[in-house]
Amino acid sequence: MDFLLEFPSLGRSDLSALRRGIDGTFREFTRAWGESIENFFDPLLAFLVWFEKLLQATPWPIIILILAGLAWAGSRSWKITLGSVVAFVVIGFLGMWEDTMSTLAIISVATFLCILVGIPLGILMARFDRAQAIITPILDVMQTIPSFVYLIPVVMLLGIGKVPGLLAVCIYALPPLVRLTNLGIRLVDKSVMEAAEAFGASNKEKLFGVQIPLALPNIFAGINQTIMMALSMVVIASMIGVQGLGVPVLRAISNQYLALGLMNGLAIVALAIIFDRVSQTYGKRLQSYREAGHG
């Protein structure tokens, strides 16, 4: 009866030996490769630091002007542009300018990195069913595994700092872009693809002339999601040494500072709403041709 009442598990000593074995192996791997991996990410770190410094050193009116310009270029809407300007003025007025610039820097670099990796990956998945079969479960894991779990090996490997924070953000924020790029390309009308084929288009001509342009609204939805998810990682990233709006939030949690937490939290929300509205209206404008019905 013992067998039915107690789940047959590895013994305590075997289990701890197994864990020690895995930990030991990874530690050895870290010792052997940690430095070269760190060196590999050095240019990224330099870029991130440079961009953050640039944002912080630029006089605030210029930043607001640039942001307003970007918001206008993206959305072509006075409401959204004005709302963005007001939000940034309030953020600055409440003393969160510097942290906001740090957050902006890491979000921008993370998004840029995700686009660089995510879109080609999505294209690959759309082209080869095999790639889709392999990559999809990896994306599932990236999206669902608690961030703290993958922070452990990342920190072991790279220590505390901006790069591990950036990687953590990217691991979480990358999947929607890959998925939506894949989906967008697969959803391209088969008959249009057939027409391109019938006119003798090469693979490259099909990809850049038909598939990507027609998948663009979906790709943009993916970028939008990536930005949103990157922003939601700001607090967790601050736990491993990323500067920005997450740091005061973290301090507020441990000291029960309600106002501090709320203000910085709302600043993150404001950034999120601005990015979301601007990128969504831009995505909508990209498919204006779809709305033009004939009378």
Partner 1 sequence: MADDTKISIRNLYKIFGDNPQTALKQVHGGMGKDELLDKTGHVLGLNDISLDIPANKLQVIMGLSGSGKSTLIRHLNRLIEPTAGEIWIDGDDVMAMGPNQLRDLRRFKMSMVFQNFALLPHRKVLENVIYGLGIQGVDESEATKRAAHWLDRVGLAGYEDYYPGQLSGGMQQRVGLARALATDADILLMDEAFSALDPLIRTDMQSILLELQQELNKTIVFITHDLDEAMRIGDTIAILRDGCLVQSGDGQDIVLRPADDYIAEFTREINRSKVIRIRALQRPIAGDAPVGEPLPSSTVLADALEKLVAAPAQALPVADKSGKVVGQVHLNDAVKALHA
Subset of residues 204 to 233 that bind partner 1, contact rule: CB under 8 A: 205, 209-210, 213-214
CB of 234 to partner 1, least distance (A): 36
Residue from 199, 254, 256, 259 binding partner 1 (CB under 8 A) = 199
Asked if 200 is part of the footprint of partner 1 (rule: CB under 8 A), the reply reads yes
Q: How many angstroms separate the CA atoms of 290 and 21, rounded? A: 58
Asked if 58 is part of the footprint of partner 1 (rule: CB under 8 A), the reply reads no
Number of residues that bind partner 1 (CB under 8 A): 23
Asked if 58 and 98 touch (Cβ cutoff 8 Å), the reply is: no
Diameter of the chain measured on Cα atoms = 78
In this complex, which beta carbon is closest to partner 1, that of residue 69 or of residue 213?
213
CB of 192 to partner 1, least distance (A): 5
Q: How many angstroms separate the CA atoms of 117 and 96, rounded? A: 31
Residue from 202, 255, 262, 269 binding partner 1 (CB under 8 A) = 202
Asked if 192 is part of the footprint of partner 1 (rule: CB under 8 A), the reply reads yes
Q: Which residues contact 225 (CB under 8 A, 6 or more apart)?
A: 173, 176, 177, 180
Residue from 3, 7, 93, 289 binding partner 1 (CB under 8 A) = 289
Asked if 133 is part of the footprint of partner 1 (rule: CB under 8 A), the reply reads no
| Choices 21-29, 191-199, 242-250, 266-274 (CB under 8 A): range interacting with partner 1 | 191-199
Asked if 187 is part of the footprint of partner 1 (rule: CB under 8 A), the reply reads no
Tokens of 93: 């007025």
CB of 154 to partner 1, least distance (A): 40
Q: What is the DSSP letter of 58?
A: S
Angle at 186 between CA 181 and CA 191, to 5 degrees: 140
* DSSP code per residue over 135-162: HHHHHHHHHHS-HHHHHHHHHHHH-SSH
Q: How many angstroms separate the CA atoms of 173 and 167, rounded? A: 10
In this complex, which beta carbon is closest to partner 1, that of residue 146 or of residue 200?
200
Q: Which residues contact 163 (CB under 8 A, 6 or more apart)?
A: 38, 41, 44, 45, 48
Sites of contact with partner 1 (CB under 8 A): 189, 191-192, 194-202, 205, 209-210, 213-214, 289-294
